[in-house]
Chains A and B, each alone.
Chain A
Amino acid sequence: MKHVLTIYSGQKNTATAACGQCATSCQSACKTSCTVGNQVCVNKG
């Protein structure tokens, strides 16, 4: 019987790691453009 189910195996994005292509700005004020508040890689390469 399965008591533990892995929903997401938590791989890190190694293909584009630290590429610096993502927007980088604040998570607290007016600017909804960052990858701190929004954790999506924008590098399509």
Chain B
Amino acid sequence: MTDTGKYHFFRYGGLNILLDVPTGAVHLLDDTAAKVLPAFVQDRDRDSLAELVPAQELPAAQRAWDQLQDLVDRGLFLGPEPVFARRPGGGELKAMCLHVAHDCDLRCRYCFASAGSFGGSRSLMDAETARAAVDFLLSSAAAVYELDFFGGEPLLNLDVVEATAAYARERAAALGKRINLTLTTNAYSLAEDARRRLLDLDLDIVLSHDGREAVHNAMRPTAGGGESYSQVTRNILAMAPLLEERYYVRGTYTAHNLDFVEDIRHWLDLGLKRMSMEPVVAPPWAAMALKEEDLPRLRSQYWQLAELCLQQPFTFFHFIIDWERGQCGARRAAGCGAGVEYVAVAPGGDIYPCHQFVGQRRWRMGTVFVGITEPALREEFLHVGIADKSRCRQCWARYHCGGGCHANAWWANSDLRQPYALGCELLKIRTEAALYVKVRQALNQYSCEGDVHGQA
């Protein structure tokens, strides 16, 4: 594999795949072109080929060289770095994570929220604070908003969720704006009545589940220490079909289930079709923490997952790459938007850059009642895009990643501009697998004559 920051070359499943980083263009090389590539990118001296390949291979190598040069001439390889002058939506606040409950009926062992309390006392957001949060969100100049009901476990405060959802829709409509609502739940309390009430709210829903029974039960016990798999699974299987495409099942894998593709197979066996499985972020001393030595095995898992995606229809969130409409470069360059376009609000009304920073005084930006009182924090987050991070500027995956998680960077390195290294490696592995799936699907769908996707 090669990585200069301008391009990335990798080989899998008999395919030589070349990604041009600035444009996102993807090329398939035959073995001759793959052999020529290192010399081409190093010195671009076509005459050097005679020293690199046997005489009988020279004509083919020269043809491959010329075809690589043709890519350069057409702006599809080794071109200039794009410049994105504008942040998405002009940097207006447009997304909010509303922590309606700092309490939870589960005690997940990897929970970054300290089992729902975020390091503080267990509490629920009242309706007045939730309304103030909505007013604060809608006071920005954005046109489209996202409001996510989060916790802890938001079903523990379902009355406030309902009242706030209604208020948010009413206020947005009055202002001529649009608002999309989501809710993230562990599904333990998602009984029939709760399911009906959520369906009435017209939400997108993320349902947390870890896959196989033993894996799930080991990581997601109830508050009383009991097993949660049966109840959670029963509730999810009752809810997911009602949501059609408006759900994701979302799991976490740890060092205890490095064979996490088996958990995805379990979901498929249950009939679930839309899913995401995320690597745990845990202190390095924790037994569940992923380690550098786990990377080869995890790489193998993502390749297995890629093949699984090609064999049967289901949606794996992180393998979705938009080749129909093209990437939004501004979004990729700006990253997740935490602290700028996106904030989280604690039950008492305090504002934080994102849900992962909630409860940490260092990152308190203000309150929904008085607004942002620490503008320097917003300014800090304005300057943590991929162009601001030396490691990202050199990384081939930057336009597929967006610069990584700021909270992970802070916890790993006490520096928002120093990405969490293990997370970077996993992202790159996952991106290779995603690109491989896209290439395979394109090859299956189209003939192999000429460009098979998009206009060259």
Q: How many residues of B contact A (CB 8 A)?
A: 92
Q: Which residues of A contact B400 (CB under 8 A)?
A: 39
Find chain B residues with CB under 8 A from A7 CB.
26-28, 438-439, 442-443, 451-453
Give A1-17 as 1s and 0s: 1 = Cβ < 8 Å from B's Cβ atoms: 11111111111111111
B321→A3 contact, CB < 8 A: no
Question: Is residue B25 within 8 Å, beta carbon to beta carbon, of the partner chain?
Answer: yes
Q: Are A18 and B87 in contact (CB under 8 A)?
A: yes
A-side contacts of B150, CB under 8 Å: 30-31
Closest B residue to A28 using CB positions = B405
Measured CA separation A35–B326 after assembly (Å):
13
Q: Check A10 against B26 for contact (C-beta < 8 Å).
A: yes
| B23 at interface, CB cutoff 8 A | yes
Q: Does B331 contact A31, Cβ atoms closer than 8 Å?
A: no
Given contacts A9-B451, A19-B328, A24-B337, 14 further A-B contacts (CB under 8 A): A2-B30, A3-B29, A3-B30, A5-B452, A6-B450, A8-B24, A8-B453, A10-B20, A25-B146, A25-B355, A26-B355, A26-B356, A33-B148, A36-B331
Residues of A within 8 A of B355 (CB): 25-26, 29-31
The bracket for how many chain A residues form the interface is: 35 or more
Identify the closest chain B residue to A16 (Cβ).
B328
A40 touches B320 (CB 8 A): yes
- In the complex with contacts A18-B87, A23-B146, A27-B336, A6-B25 CB distance below 8 A: yes
For this complex, 25 residue pairs linking A to B, each with C-beta atoms less than 8 Å apart, are A1-B60, A2-B67, A3-B33, A3-B64, A5-B451, A6-B28, A6-B71, A6-B450, A8-B438, A9-B453, A9-B454, A10-B23, A10-B24, A12-B327, A20-B88, A21-B89, A21-B144, A27-B336, A28-B407, A30-B208, A31-B148, A33-B204, A36-B332, A39-B332, A41-B328
Does B310 count as interface, using CB distance less than 8 angstroms? no
Which residues from chain B contact A17 at a C-beta distance below 8 Å? 328-330
Residues of the A chain whose Cβ atoms lie less than 8 Å from the Cβ of B423 = 28
Q: Which residues of A contact B28 (CB under 8 A)?
A: 4-7
B residues less than 8 Å from A3 (CB atoms)? 29-30, 32-33, 60, 63-64, 67
Q: Does B408 lie at the interface of the complex (its beta carbon under 8 Å from any beta carbon of A)?
A: yes
Given contacts A28-B405, A32-B248, contact A13 B327 (CB under 8 A): yes
CB <8 Å contact, B88 and A39: no
Nearest-neighbour CB distance to chain A for B152, whole angstroms, equals 11
What residues of A have a CB within 8 angstroms of the CB of B368 in the complex?
Answer: none
Task: Report which residue of A1, A15, A17, A25 has the largest number of chain B beta carbons within 10 angstroms of its beta carbon.
Answer: A25
Enumerate chain B interface residues (CB-CB to A < 8 A).
18, 20, 23-30, 32-33, 60, 63-64, 67-68, 70-71, 76, 82, 84, 86-90, 92, 94-95, 97, 112, 142-144, 146, 148, 150, 180, 182, 184, 204, 206, 208, 248, 250, 276, 278, 281, 317-318, 320-323, 325-332, 335-338, 341-342, 354-356, 400-402, 404-405, 407-408, 423, 438-439, 442-443, 448, 450-456
- Tell me what chain B mostly uses at the interface: helix, strand, loop, or mixed: mixed
Q: Which residue of A lies closest to B322 (CB)?
A: A40
Query: A29–B146 contact, CB under 8 A?
Result: no
Q: Which residue of B lies closest to A33 (CB)?
A: B182
Q: How many Å lie between the Cα of A26 and that of B320 in the bound state?
A: 16
B297: shortest Cβ distance to chain A, in Å?
A: 20
Closest to A39 in B: B321
Pick from A18, A28, A31: contact of B206, CB below 8 A: A31
**Residue among A18, A22, A37 making CB contact with B317, cutoff 8 Å:** A37
Query: Given the known A-B contacts A18-B328, A29-B356, are A4 and B88 also in contact in the complex, defined by CB atoms under 8 Å?
Result: no
Tell me the smallest distance from the CB of B453 to a CB of chain A, in Å.
5
A19 and B442 CA atoms in complex are apart in Å by 28
